[in-house]
Amino acid sequence: MPEKYHRLTPNNRYEIMEKIHQSYFPLFLSVCRQGDFTPTIKQMIEDFVVGRIGAQKGARAFVFQQLYDLAGGKENIDYLLAAIELHLASMYCFNVAADAKAGYDTPDKKATAYKTQDVVYDLSLKAIDEFSASQKIRSLIKKIFAKTQQQFLEGEIIDTIVNLYENRGKLPEDISEKIENIPDNEIYNTYGIPKETILGAIENLPTGCISDFTYLRSYLVNAVMIENFGAIIGVLLDLDNMVIEKLKKYGKFYGVGMMIVNDVQDYSLDLIEDGKTTATREKNKSDVFNDIQQ
């Protein structure tokens, strides 16, 4: 391992993150400016994609750059880092609707957020097109992005549909039956995911009564993306399978750790009661508590 990686500290880590961000953010911004968006989608891209994800020093871009350098990468990958952060931003748009954040709690608002997710995911693919002149490399990276997106949606299905306290002790087929009876358009407006995708994810759950799938949810909605960095770096540098698997394993555990830290922060905020806002989360039944417990 190069000596420079032993010298990373909390202080210089943020300095490096800032340099990486300054390098890829103009490209991120230029891709976001492409396309003829509806006013509502354009506003969400400005508020959430650029304002909340793009403007921040991207932890995932930082991790990818460090792993790429560590594996021997030498080329400029700024467009690819922009693509990664755009992919993350598309997931964030989905989560805004799924969790009814920032006023996106009406059917129209939620529909806008779900549509914006699709638009921003397509922007991430455009950034991949800008990154490489090789059709083969572009195609392979897009396949990894598509796999990551599918796994993310499966995690959201577990989080928002399956892993509810009311479903504990039920069988997966009980939930499938309930979903089957909901009209397709209502399914998409409510969950932002096609009915067949929801049913497929539920069908793939372990047999038997539902207990708790919090770790699986955390893995799918966050860790999978970083785990799959190893596969992308393998494509770029033509690495052997052993090295790819080591990179993927590191990414998996790093991603799960990030999710636990996020949940600890959420849990801490839930303990705050200022006289105006009262915590509403069922502490011992929440995904937060279970993540900490595990």
| Cα–Cα dist 236/247, whole Å | 13
Residue 26 CB neighbour total at 10 angstroms = 11
| Cα–Cα dist 97/274, whole Å | 26
pLDDT in tens, the chain (294 residues): 344 544 567 678 888 999 999 999 999 999 999 888 999 999 999 999 999 898 888 999 999 999 999 999 999 999 999 999 999 999 999 988 887 777 888 888 988 999 999 999 999 999 999 999 999 999 999 999 999 999 999 999 998 888 887 888 899 999 999 999 998 888 877 888 889 999 999 998 888 888 878 888 889 999 999 999 999 999 999 999 999 999 999 999 999 888 887 767 665 555 555 445 544 444 444 444 454 455
> Do 117 and 91 contact (CB within 8 A), yes or no?
yes
